[in-house]
Each structure stands twice: as structure tokens, then as C-alpha cells.
């Protein structure tokens, strides 16, 4: 089995810790290293390290693979961002050109959290067997709440260790999400896919023939002096579309395996208690702040020599970096994106 780890995200919802030059996947939020490093480590014992590749942008390629603990030649470098379909297919073609067989490939984001690594690997092994039979397999996360921030996968009748996919569903409103939770046939879409190279390329050819032809030309240029120019030319006119829209929603032989693995997309600061155990009074911190009459708050600091004190507050997020300080209610953690937008506007105005 081979792995493609997608590391093209900007991670703006974790400002000020993450920035364009150091996106979320390069940041250490939990564990021993960056989120990309933890994603690679999650595959230990299942996939050989030399069979793991990271798909990322050109400007951050070196930093990304270094952060993940991989050599530079295991980076699959996109000349420009064109959404997940182009990123994944470029990775598939890169794998395909380096191996003689028709490999099973697992695709996953670089910036998620999985608590139960053993269960995760067991499900990937089961998915690989289904993929060998020509199915496209996805791990669907067993929902624990009526979540409006994720897409859903509705499953139908059983198929081996999984279920046939009925349909992919857009992010719902709260009432609809509650009905999905009560229905019991809906799973969260975590963006984890397992397939043979030939299977996904056949679906691309069937559903997106122009894109398939572009990747044929890219494949033909691999290991030639013209590769980078061909890649850039093809990407410049390529459709920017997600893998869900381009392929998965209408793919034949689509199977989902329910996954109860302690998963989190760690989508914003308020999600930190999902990946780091809270201490006294429900507070979470990466160092030792002074917390007096403080409850259910999050304190993160890059400056361990600075004392941070909170008194008489609840449900607050405080993030301290050498050049920026964020203070925001947990309930508005996703609004950090507006800070990022305002800073970008100020920079543009100054120019």
C-alpha cells in the first residue's frame, strides 16, 4: 500500500499560530511533532515510510516534508493550487510512474487527529482488500453530534466489511444534521479514500475526460527535462474542483466503512479539547498559565518564558505568539478568519 498525504491547506483558522508561511499542517498542536509528522507516524507499521508521499505547494515543499520527517524526493509538488482532485490525481500519477504494479493508495489530509491508531490501521487494511476488488473506499466517521460543519455520506446495503454509498450530502443545517444523527445511516465525510490507481484513473477518464487527458500529458513528461514546464502549463488551465464533486459523488463501486476512531478535523481553536485532554475546570493549555476562577478555556503560547494569567473568565481562547496575541470567545473561534481577512486588507492598503 502507498499513501498520499494532502498538505496544501492554509490553516487560517489557527491564526496567529498558523500563517501562510507556516500553515496548520506545519504546526505542533499535539503529540511530538507537527500535524504532518503525526499523520505520517499514524501509518507506522502499515505502510513503509518510503511509500508515503506528501502533496504540497511549491513554496512550502521543503518545509512540509522536513516537518513530516520525509526526504524532499517524497514531495509531490503542485505548481499552483487547483483543489483536491488535481492534487490527488497528480499524486496518483507520481506513484504510478515509480512502481510496476497497480498499487492500492490511501489518501488522507495532513492536519487531522486520530486517537485510536490501531483501529484506524485495521480499517485501512480492510479498505485495501475492498479496493483490490475494484472499489473506491472511504472511511466515514461515526457521528457523535449533529455537526453542521462537515459533509455527510449516506450508506445503503452492506458490502463486505463496509456499505455501498447511497450519496454524498452537503453540509446541513442544524435540524437536518439532527435528523441525520437520529437516522443512523449517515457518516461524516473525513476525506479519507482508498483505491487502486487504475480504478481512480478510470473514473477520472469517465467523468472528467479533459482532465484525464491533461494528466496523460503530464505522465508522459515524467523524468524528462520538460516535466516542470508541462506540469505548469497543464495546471494553469486545469479545472479547480474537489475530488468529491469531480469523481466520488458519481463513482461506480463506492463503498464506505464506518470508522469509530476518535477522529477530529481540528478545524478551529475551540476543537483543541478534542485532541488534548482538559485539566482542572476543563481548561486546556500547552504550558503552565496562572488560572484563577477560570473554566473551560484554552491557553496556547509559543513563549514559554512569558507568564499568562486569566482570572474570572470562562470559555475563552488565548493564543500568544512572539508577534501577535489572540483573545476570542470559544463560541466565536471560527471568526478568526475575519482577523486574517482584515490583516490582508491592511497589508493591501499599505501597498
Mean pLDDT of the chain: 94
Query: What is the C-alpha to C-alpha distance for residues 307 and 284, in angstroms, rounded to an integer?
Result: 16
pLDDT digits (tens, 9 = 90+) for 146-169: 999 899 999 999 898 999 999 999
Query: E strand or H helix at 128, and its extent?
Result: helix 117-132
- In angstroms, how far is the first alpha carbon of the chain from the final one? 49
Q: Of 215, 259, 230, which is closest to residue 85 (Cα–Cα)? A: 215
H helix and E strand count, the chain: 10, 17
pLDDT of 162: 94
Query: What is the C-alpha to C-alpha distance for residues 107 and 93, in angstroms, rounded to an integer?
Result: 13
- Sequence-separated (6 or more) residues with CB below 8 Å from residue 1: 46, 47, 51, 103, 104, 105, 106, 124, 128
Q: Of 3, 28, 4, 2, which is closest to residue 14 (Cα–Cα)? A: 28
Name the pLDDT band for 350 (thresholds 50, 70, 90): low
**What is this structure's pTM?**
0.92
pLDDT of 11: 67
Domains (range + CATH), the chain: 2-264 (3.90.550.10), 269-350 (no CATH)
Query: What is the C-alpha to C-alpha distance for residues 8 and 58, in angstroms, rounded to an integer?
Result: 10
> What value does the mean pLDDT take over residues 338-343?
92
Amino acid at each position: 500500500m502507498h499513501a498520499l498525504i494532502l498538505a496544501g491547506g492554509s490553516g487560517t483558522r489557527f491564526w496567529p499560530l498558523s500563517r501562510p508561511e507556516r500553515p496548520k499542517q506545519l504546526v505542533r498542536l499535539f503529540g511530538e511533532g507537527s500535524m504532518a509528522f503525526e499523520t505520517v507516524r499514524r501509518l507506522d507499521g502499515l505502510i513503509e515510510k518510503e511509500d508515503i508521499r506528501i502533496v504540497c505547494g511549491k513554496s512550502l515543499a521543503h518545509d512540509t516534508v522536513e516537518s513530516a520527517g520525509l526526504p524532499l524526493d517524497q514531495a509531490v509538488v503542485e505548481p499552483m493550487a487547483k483543489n483536491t482532485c488535481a492534487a490527488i490525481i497528480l499524486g496518483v500519477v507520481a506513484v504510478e510512474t515509480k512502481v510496476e504494479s497497480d498499487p492500492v493508495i490511501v489518501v488522507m489530509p495532513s492536519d487531522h487527529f486520530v486517537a485510536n491508531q490501531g483501529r484506524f490501521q485495521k480499517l485501512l487494511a480492510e479498505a485495501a482488500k475492498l479496493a483490490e476488488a475494484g472499489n473506491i473506499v472511504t472511511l466515514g466517521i461515526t457521528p457523535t453530534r449533529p455537526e453542521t460543519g462537515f459533509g455527510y455520506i449516506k450508506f445503503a446495503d452492506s458490502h463486505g466489511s463496509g456499505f455501498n454509498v447511497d450519496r454524498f450530502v452537503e453540509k446541513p443545517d442544524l435540524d437536518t444534521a439532527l435528523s441525520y444523527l437520529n437516522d443512523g445511516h449517515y457518516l461524516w465525510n473525513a476525506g479519507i479514500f482508498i483505491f487502486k490507481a487504475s480504478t481512480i484513473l478510470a473514473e477520472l477518464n469517465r467523468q472528467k475526460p479533459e482532465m484525464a487527458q491533461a494528466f496523460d500529458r503530464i505522465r508522459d513528461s515524467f523524468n524528462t527535462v520538460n516535466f516542470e514546464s508541462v506540469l505548469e502549463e497543464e495546471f494553469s488551465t486545469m479545472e479547480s474542483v474537489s475530488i468529491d464533486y469531480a469523481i466520488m459523488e458519481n463513482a461506480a463501486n463506492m463503498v464506505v466503512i464506518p470508522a469509530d476512531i476518535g477522529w477530529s478535523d481540528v478545524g478551529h481553536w475551540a476543537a483543541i479539547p478534542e485532541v488534548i485532554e482538559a485539566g482542572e475546570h476543563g481548561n486546556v493549555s500547552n504550558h503552565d498559565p496562572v488560572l484563577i476562577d477560570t473554566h473551560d478555556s484554552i491557553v496556547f503560547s509559543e513563549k514559554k518564558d512569558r507568564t499568562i494569567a486569566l482570572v474570572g473568565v470562562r470559555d475563552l481562547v488565548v493564543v500568544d505568539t512572539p508577534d501577535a496575541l489572540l483573545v476570542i470567545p470559544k463560541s466565536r473561534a471560527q471568526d478568526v478568519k475575519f482577523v486574517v481577512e482584515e490583516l490582508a486588507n491592511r497589508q493591501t492598503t499599505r501597498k
